[in-house]
Structure 1
Amino acid sequence: MTAPTIVMTGTSVGSERMGAALVFGSAFFWSFGGAIARYLDISDSWTIVFWRCIFAGLFLLTFMLLRDGPRGTVELFRNMGWPGMAVGLSFATASTSFIIAISYTTVANVVLIQAGVPLLAALMAWIFYRERVSLFTWAAIAAVILGVAIMVSGSLTGSVSPIGDALALLIATVFALTTVITRRYTNVRMTPAACLGAWMACTIAATQAASLSVTAGEMGLLVVFGALNLGLGMALFVTGARLIPSALAALLGTAETMLAPIWVAVIHGEVPNNRAITGGAIILAALLSYLWVQFRHQRMSATLAQS
């Protein structure tokens, strides 16, 4: 098996490493979602989606206003074009489809199907843009899918819900599409697209929620849940995914699945079972091995290019 044969300059190697760090950072912040949700005592999931997406959208809007100013922010929205609209719609679709999916099937089924995001992203990048995917990348994708399968195997059900599993597949597909579009259109800043996606999901949730009232304590948690967990994660992902291959971005995103049980165990004392630990170890080994080979190859290529 061989690593991707990409000749990098010192600057591009540094940019790719920064991109990988940002995407991993997005997975890191997203992985706290389960631990935060444990503190919420809100029966209507749509109410949670509404407030979470409101605060995510406000965070992203504030981030752009501070970074680019009011005029620059308006220009970002104007210039995002159809790629930005597609990414925003994808984020909104994934956010709302998850709520519907888990009402028809188990979370384990949804998580297992979503483990196919790296595979779908790699296939889309190869089919549409001929982005080369090495055998080592395919092996890492297979290892991640195996790890996730082991993690959730204890809670998988024998029954199949066509609606729930189809929605889970839709989530995986649109997230893979988001990854590929963000990587392909590196000249388009996707932060406004993420903001648009949050507002779209918020609008959909508002039409479905039985009530939008929450307590002051729950509102505080929802601010963190929306601004830092979702909003900051989205900002890091769309910024970093522009700088690295689609398959790598999707692979790093699976770190969320590995880290989530750790935070629940540390914060809530819910110790993961042996299957979760084994599956998480496989995912971690696959990610670390891939990153080590990837960056080692880039360093060698950069050295050869400069000689």
Structure 2
Amino acid sequence: MSSHIDHQKGLLITAIGGLVLTFDIPLIRLADGSAWTILLLRTGTTFVAAMIIWAVWRSWSRNAPPLIPGWSGLAAAICYGLTSITFITAVYHTSTADLVFILAFNTVFCALLSWLFLKERPRAGTMIAMLAMIVGVLIIVGGSVGTGKLFGDFMALCSAFFVALAITISRASGKDMGFTSLVGVIFPLALAMVMVSGEGLQVNAPWWIIFNGAVIMPISFFCLAAGPKYISGPEVAMFYLLETVLAPIWVWLVFAEAPTRDSLIGGAILIVTLVAHSFWQLHEGRRRRAALAVGYPA
């Protein structure tokens, strides 16, 4: 009974995190500012919020996780910092649909990096899914040639890679890095401060990006980081797809930005592949647990 309640709790927490994250890009667009100003306000408010949460946690319990656990934590924090820079750059140089569809490619990078550095050879079903996702990304990128979005698509691909690298480092270290992604914003924050000092603050509606950094980012990151404690990896991955599906819809409703045909085709391949692969992993996991239960009866 307890495990069933924990599983439901995990589903609820992760669903909240995935849903809240879908508002990230629309809020960035609503703020209507320069890339460096948006990066400054987004990372600055996220960092302040993370420090407040950590300080309160530590005042109540000495078991609060470290902000940056050792050298591996520093490496992961740098990766998350680079993700913030490339992500904001991509927001300003490609469409929302292209961005979120390409970000979903981080699962392929995760599998490849785990294979190279953790010696976790992907199973046949995962290899097939990776090939299908590569085709989807190639269709999206191919449709951006000559449209001025190619650089933005490349930045989105870099974001996916840096996220995957941070996840791989975290898994290899086995350390609690719950706050590392939030603290890692200090690196792009420092860069943005230097850039903004020269050009000045350029933003028409700063409250949107302040709300994003102070509320949306901490809630989504915390919930998505807490989910794996209660539910499986494939289930968590499916909630990450909420941003892939819903963010382009919010932007289309607010800004009338419709995805291109190539973006829709490539994105559909990515989404269908991820959903099918997640269901396959869930089925395989249940089958293995059932086999273990038969082999080792209580």
TM-score (ref. length: structure 1): 0.73
1:185 to 134, 150, 173: 173
Aligned to 2:191: 204
1:123 to 109, 112, 117: 112
Aligned to 1:147: 136
Q: Over residues 118-150 of structure 1, what are the superposed CA-to-partner deviations in whole Å (9 max), with x where a residue is unaligned?
A: 222212111221223112112222333333444
CA contact (8 A) 1:112 1:152 kept: no
Label 1:116 to 1:300 Cα distance change in 2 as closer, same or farther (>3 A).
Answer: closer
CA contact (8 A) 2:36 2:192 kept: yes
- Percent identity of paired positions between Structure 1 and Structure 2: 25
Aligned to 2:213: 226
Q: Over residues 198-253 of structure 1, what are the superposed CA-to-partner deviations in whole Å (9 max), with x where a residue is unaligned?
A: 222212211111223756xx2321123213443333334444568866x9977875
* Residue identity matched to 2:275: L
TM superposition shift of 1:92:
0.9
Aligned to 1:171: 159
Aligned residues: 287
2:44 to 34, 40, 54: 54
Structure 2 residue runs of 5 or longer lacking an equivalent are none
**Residues 86-165 of structure 1: matches in 2 within 5 Å?**
86-99=75-88, 116-151=105-140, 153-157=142-146
TM-score (ref. length: structure 2): 0.75
Q: Distance in 1 between matches of 2:126 and 2:45?
A: 36
CA contact (8 A) 2:13 2:224 kept: no
Decide which moves more: 227-236 or 31-40.
227-236
Q: Distance in 2 between matches of 1:244 and 1:219?
A: 38
CA contact (8 A) 1:179 1:241 kept: no
1:36 to 27, 32, 46: 27
Q: SS of 1:76's equivalent?
A: coil
Label 1:178 to 1:26 Cα distance change in 2 as closer, same or farther (>3 A).
Answer: farther
2:70 to 71, 76, 81: 81
Q: Distance in 2 between matches of 1:203 and 1:106?
A: 25
Q: Over residues 3-32 of structure 1, what are the superposed CA-to-partner deviations in whole Å (9 max), with x where a residue is unaligned?
A: xxxxxxx96xx77x949983x765544433
Q: Is 1:291 paired with 2:278? A: yes
TM superposition shift of 1:180:
1.0
Label 1:93 to 1:41 Cα distance change in 2 as closer, same or farther (>3 A).
Answer: same
* Residue identity matched to 1:193: T
Label 1:78 to 1:54 Cα distance change in 2 as closer, same or farther (>3 A).
Answer: closer
CA contact (8 A) 1:19 1:244 kept: no
Quote the RMSD (CA, aligned, Å).
Answer: 4.0
CA contact (8 A) 1:55 1:231 kept: no
Q: Distance in 2 between matches of 1:168 and 1:280?
A: 14
Structure 1 residue runs of 5 or longer lacking an equivalent are 1-9
Q: Over residues 144-170 of structure 1, what are the superposed CA-to-partner deviations in whole Å (9 max), with x where a residue is unaligned?
A: 333344445433338998x98876665
